[in-house]
Each structure stands twice: as structure tokens, then as C-alpha cells.
Amino acid sequence: VIDYEPPADPSAYSFTHRVRVRFAETDAMGIVHHAAYLPYLEEARVAYLKAIGHPYQQVRSEHGTDFAVIECRVRYLRPLRFDDEVDVHLELGAARRASFAMGYLLTVDGVASCAAVTEHACVDETGRPNRLPDWLRELAAAPRADRVVRPTA
Amino acid sequence: VIDYEPPADPSAYSFTHRVRVRFAETDAMGIVHHAAYLPYLEEARVAYLKAIGHPYQQVRSEHGTDFAVIECRVRYLRPLRFDDEVDVHLELGAARRASFAMGYLLTVDGVASCAAVTEHACVDETGRPNRLPDWLRELAAAPRADRVVRPTA
Amino acid sequence: VIDYEPPADPSAYSFTHRVRVRFAETDAMGIVHHAAYLPYLEEARVAYLKAIGHPYQQVRSEHGTDFAVIECRVRYLRPLRFDDEVDVHLELGAARRASFAMGYLLTVDGVASCAAVTEHACVDETGRPNRLPDWLRELAAAPRADRVVRPTA
Amino acid sequence: VIDYEPPADPSAYSFTHRVRVRFAETDAMGIVHHAAYLPYLEEARVAYLKAIGHPYQQVRSEHGTDFAVIECRVRYLRPLRFDDEVDVHLELGAARRASFAMGYLLTVDGVASCAAVTEHACVDETGRPNRLPDWLRELAAAPRADRVVRPTA
């Protein structure tokens, strides 16, 4: 477990990606099922990698590295509902030799609905640990202010 | 499109597999989301292949053949609800040179809740069509009465 | 079953909505799982209803009507892959007293990857059939050229 | 966050529920997608409540209480693959006035593949906190040895 806590303030994050809640993601309680949040985090992560010039496809094909999820921690603060527009704020949280943490804060109209951390191991096709790509190690070492990115789309 | 209609009578089917509705599969209408039925059909198909001695893993590894879904038709007759025990009745419906149809009837306490057909192409790893495995062609040619199988549990 | 076939030509459709394939929607064949297409159709349907001024939330709360899916037919023409940008072309296909059909064509870079039809019943909260809302009946009766809409977003 | 860590030893758990991996739950890495584990935990939880005589349906209808998931922590230790038989070991971990924690250990052929905790709040239909039902409070207070249950299957 990487010792890292995601910021509670949306403006502290370096990147934001918006998703819209699908009806298929709700459950019989009338709110979004707790498992449906993980694909939101993943979609935001993929958009982030693209925005910083390292699309996940390219990471997989060129570096031969998968960013396997080895841990997730999710705190559900307020329910999400069908058709909500959810801003997924995201940052690269911390890095080690072969793993890193991403932090997330989900907001709807500026109000926090979920805080989350995912931890990832760099692994090759057989599942063996790889070193982090250089760009990722350098990004993790940069001061937070230098890490801000904007979506290209 | 293969010209095949699944039987309306549960007892006409050669195989039955039971699934139980998960809470995650419901939606905000309080019933099972329509997309969640397709994994039920798939799970029943996998159980069927195992019961007739041709586990899907083996089909993929030994024959190098995937049974790619090329069409589905689903009629939703009555809603399914959380914790329902659903009997998925299934039969091999019809076969061609490189494709086949499976028919399904879903019942809860004997009452039909869904009828469905899936069509599958035999394809190799690159997606190119393969001939049907011999056992599948022979099974499709056998009289319906000879096709009945029982789950191996 | 409503007798309706969706057009094969993308330009024949009145509305287009773009989705991007999530990694979570792929399966061990390396392509999008066949069940994951249904939420794409649903997301496009929701965007369409919003674009024509009848958001689904409003349909549910004001009219007390759900558009329950009673049938779907999906033809999978070419695999979709992670991160594909998929244009979901959509039209209102045909309407009856208490049900209607929607037609879909999915394209990636202009190449068709999937054709689909969903049929919907208007039902109240208890699942009993409702008449179609007036606007929906009128829209279905209008000539196809008058039905073209553009996304508001 | 409730201070509770699930046991690392499968035999320490009071209940075990088996699930089989569906093809739909795999992703393009060839393994089960990390989001697909949460419905496994949920299915096991539902089976557990039934086994101890408090089916979730009954909790919802009689007590007017939902066990809303307010936090989850999942550690992915080894990949799960299509058709794996997964034993979900489970225990009631700790309880407070209006919330409780459940612990999980997933094993395949006795080898640990995942450890998890979910935290739940008792809430009424409007989302307001409810006190824990008496039976749940009493169960949480009982010595671990007295909590062992067997599936009624």
C-alpha cells in the first residue's frame, strides 16, 4: 500500500475529465451502483494519459507495459444519479520503482461525491514487474504545480 | 441471419442452467437491466459446452477457435428482479458451415421471462472464419431427442 | 415484433452520438464484449431524447412513463476495440399505439461496425402499458427529412 | 473509515460462497477486470445474509434499511481468469452505531487472489442514517467462533 491521500480540494488536481452517468450504471436503489465508479476512474485515467502525450495504447504497445490495478480504495460520499455530469479530478499521486498511485475526487456541480485512490503496478505481458517508464518517474518527481495538464480535446 | 426460432416450451430444450440475479444487475427501474441478460446467456452457453464435454477454454486453446457472437435477438417478456432464480433453457438451434445459432428460454418458477437467440461465427485468432468443429456439426445434425444433456454439476 | 429495418447508410439517420470505448468494456478476445454495446445504444437514445427537447428524466417524472426495452436485435459486423471512437447513428424507426422501435448504425471512421434495433413499450410505474406521448407519435408520423436533429451540446 | 483488517487465513472466515468467472468479466489483458470483483463481494454478502436468516430483500422491505456501500478497499493479489472457481470467504468485521464493515478473502484452489473490505451505512429510503438492526449489532458483538455459518444452499 502506497501512503498517499488524495486532496479534498478539486482545484488541487492537475486534470479533470467529465463523464455522464448512464442509466445502465444505476441500480434498484435508484443511484449509481458502487462498482460502476471504477470504470469512471479508468476512463479519466485513459484521458489523462492521452492529454500528457502518453496514450495507454502506446504504453502497452511500445513499452510493453500494462498498468495493472493492484489496489483501489473508494469512499462514496454522496450518491450519483442517472444523467449526472460528473467531473473526475485526477492526479498522479506518488511513485515507487515499479508502482504508482493515482488520486481522484469526483464532483457534481462542484460538490464532492467520491474520493478514490488506485494503485498500479507496471507489468509486462506475463505479469512480471517492470520499472516505471522514465516519463512517469519524472512526472511523479516534478513539483505539483508543474504537473497541471489540460485536455487536448 | 440464421432462420431459427427458439421453442416456447421449456421442456423442448436440451439443457438448463440456473443463474441468480445480482443486485448489481438491476437498474433504477427496480428490475434487471436489459444488457445484463447477455452474460446470463453466455454463462449458460459455457456451462452447456462443459456439460457436453467441450469446455470453451479447450475449444479456444485446442481448436484455435472462438465462437464470436455475430448476432443476438432478445425478447424481454417479464421483468427479472433482484435475487430471482432464473432457469436458462438452451439448445443448439441450427448450424451452417462456419456459424451456428443457439436458442434460449428464461423462466422463473416455470414462467417465461425472456426468449433469445445468439448467432456465433467460428473464427481464428485473427478473426477469420473457421469451419465448425466436427463435434458441433454432428451435434447440430442429430435429432433433437439425442441432444439432451444433463449438467455434470 | 415491429417490422422495421434500420438503414445501412449512416447519412440516412437523424441523429449521431459519439461514445469512446472503455477498457472495462473489452473482453479476453481483445475486443468489446457483445453485451457492452447495449449501453452505447442507450446512451445515444438518452442524448437523442435530450436533443429533441424531451429528456428521459422528464419523460419519467412528468409523463410517468418508462420506455421499457421489450426487444433488441443486434448484428455485430466488425469488432470494436479499446479507445475506438464510435459514432452511434440513430433514428426513431416506427411507432404503434403503445410501443416504438429505434434503429441504430454504429460506425468507426465511417465504417459500419454494428446495426441494431431496440423496441420499447411505454409503461407506467407498475409496468402497465401507456399510450405513446403525443410528441412521440407525431414525430414518428413526420416524414424522415423533418426528423433530423442536432445535438445541443 | 472503520479500523478493521480482514484475516489473511481463509479458515478464519465464518462463511464461504463460490462464484465462477464469466467471460464477460474479463478484459483485453485476458484477466478479470478490477471492477468485476465488487459484484462478487456483493453476491457473497447477499448469500451470507440469506444463510444467517436475514435475506437482503427482507432487510429492505421489513426494516426499511439499505446497507449502502460507503467505502471499499480492494487489494488484487493474483489475476483471476475466465472460468476460475473463486471462493469468496467473508466475515462481519466490525460494527458501529449506524455502519459496519465486512471483510473478504478470495481464493482459487486455496491460493489467495484478492483481499477486500466493504463498509456499509444503514440508511432509510431517503438516504438518512438508520441504527443497525438488533441482530446485526448482536452478531458483531459475538465472539468470532460463534459467528460461523454454513450456506443453506
Residues of B with catalytic roles? 27
Q: Can you tell me the mean pLDDT for C26-46?
A: 97
Per-residue pLDDT band for D112 (boundaries 50, 70, 90) equals very high
**Percentage of chain A lying above the pLDDT 70 cut:** 97
User: Who has greater pLDDT, A52 or D152?
Assistant: A52
- Joined together, the cell numbers standing for residue B63 give 481448436
CB of D79 less than 8 A from some CB of C? no
- Hey, what's the cell of B131? 469451419
Q: What element of type H or E holds C105?
A: strand C99-108
CA distance D62 to chain A (A): 16
C21, C26, C27, best to mutate vs chain D, most D CBs in 10 Å: C27
CB contact under 8 A, C28 and D24: no
Cβ of A80 under 8 Å from any chain B Cβ? no
State residue B1's pLDDT score.
Answer: 79
Could you tell me the CA-to-CA distances from B30 to A31, A82, B87 in Å, in that order? Answer: 11, 13, 20
Question: What's the pLDDT at B153?
Answer: 46
Mean pLDDT calculated for residue range C136-143? 90
| Partner-chain residue, chosen from D24, D42, D83, that has the shortest CB–CB distance to B23 | D42
Residue A40 has pLDDT above 70, yes or no: yes
Confidence of residue A21 (pLDDT cuts 50, 70, 90): very high
pLDDT at D153 over 70: no
The answer to whether the Cβ–Cβ distance between A46 and C56 falls below 8 Å is: no
Residues in CB range of B28: below 8 A, 6 or more apart = A23, A26, A27, A28, A30, A31, A81, A82
* pLDDT in the model for residue C153: 46
Which of A38, A56, A82 comes nearest C57 by C-beta?
A82
The confidence band for D2, taking pLDDT boundaries of 50, 70 and 90, is confident
Comparing B80-84, B138-142, D21-25, the range with the smallest average pLDDT is B138-142
Using the Cβ of A83 and the Cβ atoms of chain D, whether some distance falls under 8 Å is answered with no
pLDDT digits (tens, 9 = 90+) for A103-120: 999 999 999 999 999 999
| pLDDT reported for residue A150 | 61
Count CA atoms within 13 Å of residue B139 on its CB side: 20
Annotate chain A with three-state secondary structure: CCCCCCCCCHHHCCEEEEEECCHHHECCCCCECHHHHHHHHHHHHHHHHHHCCCCHHHHHHHCCCEEEEEEEEEEECCCCCCCCEEEEEEEEEEECCCEEEEEEEEEECCEEEEEEEEEEEEECCCCCECCCCHHHHHHHHCCHHHHCCCCCC
Residues of C in contact with A55 (CB under 8 A): 83
Q: Compute the distance between CA of residue A104 and CA of residue A89 in angstroms, rounded to an integer.
A: 5
Return the HEC string of B92-142: EEEECCCEEEEEEEEEECCEEEEEEEEEEEEECCCCCECCCCHHHHHHHHC
Judge: A76–D74 Cβ closer than 8 Å, yes or no: no
Least confident of B88-102, B134-148, D7-21, D48-62: B134-148
**Contact flag C70-B76 (C-beta cutoff 8 Å):** yes
Q: How confident is the model at residue A151 (pLDDT cuts 50, 70, 90)?
A: low
pLDDT at A1: 79
Per residue in A116-128, pLDDT (tens digit) is: 999 999 999 888 9
pLDDT at B85 over 90: yes
Residues 116-135 of C with CB under 8 A from A: none
Give B27-65 pLDDT, tens digit per residue. 999 999 999 999 999 999 999 999 999 999 999 988 889
Mean confidence (pLDDT) of chain C: 93
CA dist D60 and D74 (Å) reads: 26
What's the mean pLDDT in B64-75?
Answer: 95
Residue A152 has pLDDT above 70, yes or no: no
Q: What is the mean pLDDT of chain A?
A: 93
The pLDDT of B140-148, averaged and rounded, is 80
What are the tens digits of pLDDT across the range D69-102?
999 999 999 999 999 999 999 999 999 999 999 9
pLDDT in tens, C58-70: 999 888 899 999 9
Q: Does A33 touch chain B (CB under 8 A)?
A: yes
pLDDT at A82 over 80: yes
Mean pLDDT over A27-45 rounds to: 97
* B68: Cβ contacts below 8 Å, ≥ 6 apart: B120, B121, B122, B123, B127, C29, C76
**Distance of CA C152 to CAs A83, C57, C149, Å?**
15, 17, 9
Q: Does B27 touch chain A (CB under 8 A)?
A: yes
ipTM of this model? 0.94
Res. C126 pLDDT band, cuts 50 70 90: confident
Strongest mean pLDDT among A19-28, D56-65, D121-130: A19-28
Segment B76-88 shows an average pLDDT of 97
Please list, in sequence order, all residues whose beta carbon lies within 8 angstroms of the beta carbon of residue C111, skipping any fewer than 6 positions away.
C78
pLDDT beyond 70 at D115: yes
* CB within 8 Å: A72 and D73: yes
Say how far apart CA B44 and CA C52 lie, in whole Å. 40
Q: Half-sphere exposure (CA, 13 Å, Cβ side) for A42?
A: 22
What pLDDT, in 10s, does the model give residues C75-123? 999 999 999 999 999 999 999 999 999 999 999 999 999 999 999 999 9
CB-based contact B38 C35, cutoff 8 Å: yes
